[in-house]
């Protein structure tokens, strides 16, 4: 059934032992003895190889030399990790280091009246103390919402907010000094409930000046209407409505935050930090410390897990730099786990109202979403999150109308931010559970419902996103077949259930937030090859364990026909790395590997030129194999890689090349059109089987069939790892993980005993199914695999629980006690005393099922044609509803016009988050400037 049962596949680079490596000889090509024959299985059919290309040829085809792309490859930095030699943030030890500690607020919201550090400074061993007065400049990850300080200036905004910091000769002294710093506070009434944040407040948590929304704590609000919103309710024959509550979750990475700052003797600052976005830290440091960026080197250490939780510039990084400047010595700050929860940036606690409508042909004629998200005390990535909660569920389905209201409010909690599946996870769960409910109401199979409503490849979504490759149909078909769906769905006994869920995610965000994409690229890669033949890659992409160093090495090795051990990646220091935006929005493989391919192509050109010069062969008939460039028809005629290299190095020394990637122009022009825009999108479909204990409400996930369309698996081993890891992470959110705030507003479980990450006992068997849709613009066809695979696990578990016991949750996590409550309720409604006598749902197909199956078949043919036919015409969302697919419907049909601000009528009875629009911005309200 699955490929895993075949003979074990060889893993490139596996079982390496220091000092015992079978090193490749750079100039071995031509001797036969050392050169490996080309792996025809890896060469595309269009290039005369044996690799089947069901999705048609790809522009990178001719760059494939059969070396490493598509082969399971051990991560290039794995030996460091498994031998314990990888240095993470806290492993950096500089001579004479001091230990920094942070004084934190015990109050949720208070004005800082005074800070007295005298006693702390008198303690022997204390070297420096700093407070908010030492760094008054604001910073933040997004240029539009810089609202953080290194330490409290004027106010503290959540329990755990930074007030002061101290550096001492050792940790014990620093901790003692921490207690000696006396802070006087004046308490302000805190806000804990996100709904309160929508109201006017006497003391809003931040003040945005003229742009402040009323006197409320609304940080960002979004209103969007696309398609025939007015008509959707008339046409609908089945509707779903649910009010969801999602608890906040934390990334819970293994490595707590840690940072070392050192002002070197030459006066420059080096900051050692496990960061996903070293470049943003670089910028923020310059702002806060008031020194030019060229005087700062940000060194990314190994990162012990990020998942979005290390993708903001953090106040403690500023603190370390300030303390180091004051003391003249290196300062190291390492967090306790509790502090990790206080800096948080996890998934937003959310209240989402989801409405779905289906018409008599089983088309999704409308989605109405209202999402109120709890941002905590700071903006972080929240501006984007507010959009993502809406726009990222406008695909993969073709929809008739989309109405979205979203608002993010400040509350006196640790800040929420970006977390794996940024902004898409909660609302995706609500949509997919809604589709399951719609299928139930229409008496059709939920997979058939989805298959009959998919957007085709190379189309535009209702919000105007350009979607290129789509492997959604294959994902759905494969999980249906491999899980035995048709035998099991609605046919399993009480307590056993099976459910489906899908996902859609961006593969890189379309706009770099700090500059114009037309002027400066998203990603840049430099290559340098000297006489030894080894290739040095300089890249700023942050390897956070996802394998970006490996992917960039693979890409270069593939294009140049070199073994992986001839590639070395330098990606740590901002001094030597080209600017890269960092590891977020699943952009690295797509953008950075594309940049690497461009750079490698330049080197390749030079090697080919040199070969022509040496051999006199015709350039177009040369191909690159393993460390050798030769005539395709007569492999005996050719030169070794080293010979060609040395020829091109004549008169100038090392070869250097630079490659860059920027996104093509895309998207519409309305306000917020750029949010959710990406050069490619990933798709996924999971089927999950669960067991539910009807007496206790405990859920056990038994098995997951997880299909993910990553375009092309550059490293299948890493893709499978991402899929399995995503299942684990998402399962935590759906079953047990939550940041639980007690009645005092305090986070009750800031530790890994009470923050319930599923253990190995809870982990089901996961069957990863890789679907390769061969993206036209991705490197070798690749798209993301880091975040998208997380989305489907949540709804597929929810839907499987419904299949098992006929209850639908509207609250995550589905802890046993919540499930038990729902079971009790159902028992009461049905007059049963023993939950074992409940019945699980059944399904009798309605005539609509046939209509859907027929349409799905037709669409399957349409999709195949669209992906192979290069002369395809445009396809805009709306064609399924009878509109002309070649013209964007909002340009021709007034009913489909785009709205980004609410009408007056809407404000008479707005939804929850929609009520944020009741306030006017200060600059627009009377009596204000």
Which parts of this chain interact with other proteins (CB under 8 A)?
A: 104-107, 159-160, 171-172, 175, 336-338, 695-696, 736, 742, 744, 746, 748-751, 753-754, 756, 758-762, 815-817, 820
Q: How far apart are CA 274 and CA 463, in angstroms?
A: 36
Q: How many residues does the chain have?
A: 929
**What are the DSSP calls for 665-699, one per residue?**
P-S--STTTTTT--S-EEEEEEEEEEEE-TTT--E
Sheet holding 628-631, edge to edge: 622-625, 628-631, 638-640
User: For residue 396, is the peptide bond before it cis, meaning its omega torsion is within 30 degrees of 0?
Assistant: yes
Cβ-based nearer residue to other proteins, 759 or 844: 759
Among left, alpha and beta (phi > 0; psi -120 to 50; other), residue 720 is: alpha
405 phi and psi angles, rounded to 5 deg: -125, 130
785 close to 710: Cβ distance less than 8 angstroms: yes
Which CB sits closer to other proteins, 41 or 695? 695
* 212: preceding bond cis by omega (within 30 degrees): no
Q: Please, which residue, 750 or 776, has the CB nearer to other proteins?
A: 750
Least separation in angstroms between CB 107 and other proteins: 7
For other proteins, the closer CB: 717 or 807: 807
How, if at all, do strands 699-709 and 110-116 pair? unpaired
State the nearest-atom distance from the C-beta of 319 to other proteins, in Å.
16
Give least dist CB 408 to other proteins, A: 25
Q: Specify the residue, 411 or 915, whose C-beta has the smaller distance to other proteins.
A: 411
Helix 425-442 to helix 793-805 angle, to the nearest 10 degrees? 40
CB-based contact 155:112 (threshold 8 Å): yes
> Tokens standing for 607?
């090697």
CB 518 within 8 A of CB 511: no
Task: In angstroms, give the least distance from the CB of 442 to other proteins.
Answer: 36
* Nearest-approach distance from CB 335 to other proteins, in angstroms: 10
> Which residues have C-beta within 8 Å of that of residue 882, sequence separation ≥ 6?
none
- The distance of closest approach from Cβ of residue 345 to other proteins in the complex, given in angstroms and rounded to an integer, is 19
User: What is the smallest separation between the CB atom of 764 and other proteins, expressed in angstroms?
Assistant: 13
Question: What does residue 494 show for φ and ψ, rounded to 5 degrees?
Answer: -55, 135
Strand (E) positions, 780-918? 811-812
- In the complex, the smallest distance separating the C-beta of residue 695 from other proteins, rounded to whole angstroms, is 5
**Residue 524 · residue 657 · CB < 8 Å:** no
CA distance 336 to 318: 18
The nearest distance, CB 46 to other proteins, in angstroms, is 51
Cβ burial of 871 (10 Å; 0-12, 13-18, 19+) is: exposed
Our CB check for other proteins shows the closer of 110 and 352 to be: 110
**Cβ within 8 Å of residue 305, ≥6 positions away:** 251, 253, 254, 255, 544, 545
Q: Which two tokens stand for residue 135?
A: 């760094």
Q: Would you say 856 and 451 are in contact if contact means Cβ atoms under 8 Å apart?
A: yes
Nearer Cβ to other proteins, position 159 or 629? 159
Closest by CA to 163, choosing from 184, 142, 189, 144, is 184
Supply the minimum distance, in Å, between the C-beta of residue 179 and other proteins: 9
Q: Is 451 exposed, middle or buried (0-12, 13-18, 19+ CB in 10 A)?
A: buried
Q: Which of 614, 611, 613 has the alpha carbon at shortest distance from 623?
A: 611
Q: Write down the least CB distance from residue 749 to other proteins, Å.
A: 8
What is the CB neighbour count within 10 angstroms for residue 59?
10
**φ/ψ (deg, to 5) at 43:** -95, 130
| Backbone dihedral angles phi then psi of residue 84, each to the nearest 5 degrees | 70, 20
| Shortest reach from residue 652's CB to other proteins, in Å | 56
Note whether 508 and 522 are within 8 A (CB): yes
- Tell me how far, at minimum, the Cβ of 309 lies from other proteins, in Å: 19
CA-CA distance, 589 to 546, in Å (whole number)? 10
Looking at the DSSP bridge assignments, the partners of residue 568 are 536
Q: Shortest approach of other proteins to residue 171 CB, angstroms?
A: 6
Closest approach, Cβ 816 to other proteins, in A, equals 7
- CB of residue 323 to other proteins, shortest distance in Å: 19
Q: What is the DSSP string of 555-572?
A: HHHHHHT--GGGEEEE-S
Q: Which is nearer to other proteins, 490 or 820 (CB)?
A: 820
**Smaller CB separation from other proteins, 156 or 379:** 156
Tokens of 192: 């804990």
388, 233 Cβ separation under 8 angstroms: no
Give the whole-angstrom CA distance, residue 572 versus residue 167: 26
Nearer to other proteins, 103 or 399 (CB): 103
Residue 745 CB, nearest distance to other proteins (Å)? 9
Q: Which is nearer to other proteins, 752 or 843 (CB)?
A: 752
Burial of 405 per CB tally in 10 Å (0-12, 13-18, 19+): buried
Q: Token digits for 208?
A: 């945005």
The single residue listed with the structure tokens 């998207």 is: 667
**Residue number, 170 or 634, with CB nearest to other proteins:** 170
Comparing CB distances to other proteins, the nearer of 162 and 462 is 162
Closer CB to other proteins, 104 or 473, in the complex: 104
Decide: 499 and 670 in contact? Cβ < 8 Å: no
**CB of 817 vs other proteins, minimal distance in Å:** 4
């Amino acid at each position: 059934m699955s490929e895993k049962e075949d003979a074990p596949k060889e893993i490139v680079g596996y079982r390496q032992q220091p000092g015992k490596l079978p090193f490749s000889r750079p100039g071995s090509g031509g001797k036969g003895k050392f050169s490996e024959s080309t792996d025809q299985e890896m060469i595309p059919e269009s290039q005369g190889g044996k690799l089947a290309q069901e999705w048609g040829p790809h522009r990178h085809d001719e760059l494939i030399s059969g070396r490493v792309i598509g082969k399971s490859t051990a991560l290039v930095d794995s030996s460091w990790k498994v031998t314990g030699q990888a240095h993470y943030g806290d492993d950096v030890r500089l001579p004479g280091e001091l230990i920094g500690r942070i004084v934190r607020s015990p109050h949720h919201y208070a004005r800082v009246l005074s800070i007295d550090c005298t006693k702390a400074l008198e303690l022997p061993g204390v070297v420096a103390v700093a407070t908010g007065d030492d760094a008054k400049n604001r910073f933040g990850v997004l240029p539009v919402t810089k609202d953080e300080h290194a330490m409290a200036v004027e106010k503290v905004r959540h329990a755990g907010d930074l007030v002061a910091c101290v550096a001492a000769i050792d940790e014990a002294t620093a901790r003692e000094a921490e207690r000696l710093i006396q802070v006087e506070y004046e308490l302000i009434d805190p806000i804990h409930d996100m709904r309160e944040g929508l109201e006017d407040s006497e003391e809003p948590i931040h003040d945005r000046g003229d742009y402040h929304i009323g006197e409320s704590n609304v940080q960002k609000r979004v209103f969007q209407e696309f398609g025939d919103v007015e008509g959707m309710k008339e046409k609908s024959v089945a509707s779903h409505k649910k009010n969801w509550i999602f608890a906040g979750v934390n990334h819970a990475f293994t490595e707590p935050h840690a940072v070392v700052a050192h002002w070197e003797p030459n006066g420059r600052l080096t900051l050692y930090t496990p960061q996903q976005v070293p470049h943003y830290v670089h910028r923020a440091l310059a702002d806060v410390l008031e020194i030019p960026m060229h005087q700062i080197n940000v060194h990314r250490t190994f990162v012990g897990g990020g998942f979005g939780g290390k993708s903001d510039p953090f106040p403690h990084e500023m603190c370390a730099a300030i303390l180091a400047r004051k003391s003249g010595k290196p300062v190291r700050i390492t967090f306790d786990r509790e502090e990790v929860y206080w800096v948080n940036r996890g998934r937003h606690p959310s209240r989402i109202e989801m409405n779905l409508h289906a018409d008599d042909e089983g088309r999704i004629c409308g989605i109405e979403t209202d999402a109120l998200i709890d941002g905590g005390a700071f903006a972080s990535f929240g501006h984007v999150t507010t959009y993502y909660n809406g726009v990222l569920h406008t695909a993969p389905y073709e929809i008739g109308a989309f109405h979205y209201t979203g608002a993010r409010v400040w509350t006196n909690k640790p800040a929420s931010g970006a977390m794996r599946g940024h902004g898409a996870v909660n609302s995706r769960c609500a949509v997919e559970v809604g589709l399951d409910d719609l299928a139930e109401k229409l008496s059709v199979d939920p997979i058939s419902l989805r298959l009959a409503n998919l957007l085709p490849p190379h189309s535009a979504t209702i919000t105007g996103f350009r979607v290129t490759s789509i492997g959604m149909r294959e994902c759905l078909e494969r999980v249906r077949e491999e899980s035995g769906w048709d035998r099991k769905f609605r046919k399993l006994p009480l307590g056993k259930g099976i459910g489906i869920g899908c996902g859609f995610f961006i593969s890189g965000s379309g706009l770099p937030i700090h500059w114009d994409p037309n002027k400066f690229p998203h990603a840049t890669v430099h290559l340098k090859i000297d006489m030894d033949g080894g290739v040095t890659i300089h890249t700023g992409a942050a390897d956070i364990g996802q394998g970006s160093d490996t992917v960039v090495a693979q890409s270069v090795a593939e294009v140049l026909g070199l073994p992986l051990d001839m590639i070395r990646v330098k990606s740590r220091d901002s001094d030597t790395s080209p600017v890269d935006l960092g590891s977020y929005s699943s952009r690295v493989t797509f953008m950075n590997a594309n940049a690497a391919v461009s750079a490698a192509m330049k080197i390749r050109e030079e090697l080919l030129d040199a070969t022509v010069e040496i051999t006199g062969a015709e350039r177009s008939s040369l191909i690159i194999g393993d460390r050798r460039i030769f005539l395709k028809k007569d492999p005996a005629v050719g030169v070794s890689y080293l010979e060609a290299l040395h020829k091109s190095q004549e008169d100038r020394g090392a070869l250097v090349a630079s490659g860059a990637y920027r996104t093509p122009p895309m998207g519409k022009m309305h306000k917020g059109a750029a949010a959710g825009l990406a050069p490619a999108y990933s798709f996924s479909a999971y089927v999950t089987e669960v067991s539910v204990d009807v007496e206790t409400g405990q859920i056990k996930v038994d098995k997951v069939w997880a299909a993910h369309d990553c375009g092309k698996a550059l490293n299948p081993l890493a893709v499978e790892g991402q899929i399995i890891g995503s299942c684990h992470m998402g399962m935590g959110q759906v079953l047990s993980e939550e940041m639980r705030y007690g009645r005092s507003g305090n986070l009750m479980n800031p530790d890994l005993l009470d923050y319930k990450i599923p253990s190995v006992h809870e982990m089901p068997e996961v069957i990863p199914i890789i679907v390769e849709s061969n993206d036209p613009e991705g490197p070798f066809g690749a798209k993301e695999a880091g975040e998208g695979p997380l989305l489907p696990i949540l709804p597929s578990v929810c839907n499987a629980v419904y299949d098992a016991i006929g209850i639908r949750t509207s609250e995550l996590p589905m802890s046993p006690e919540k499930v038990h409550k729902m079971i009790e309720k159902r028992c009461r409604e049905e007059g049963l005393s023993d939950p074992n006598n409940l019945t699980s749902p059944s399904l009798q197909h309605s005539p609509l099922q046939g209509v859907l199956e027929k349409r799905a078949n037709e669409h399957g043919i349409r999709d195949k044609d669209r992906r192979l036919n290069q002369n395809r015409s445009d396809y805009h969302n709306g064609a399924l509803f009878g509109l002309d697919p070649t013209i964007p419907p909002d340009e021709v049909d007034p009913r489909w016009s785009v709205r980004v601000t609410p009408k007056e009528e809407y404000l008479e009875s707005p939804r929850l988050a929609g009520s944020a629009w009741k306030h006017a911005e200060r600059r627009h309200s009377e009596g204000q400037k």
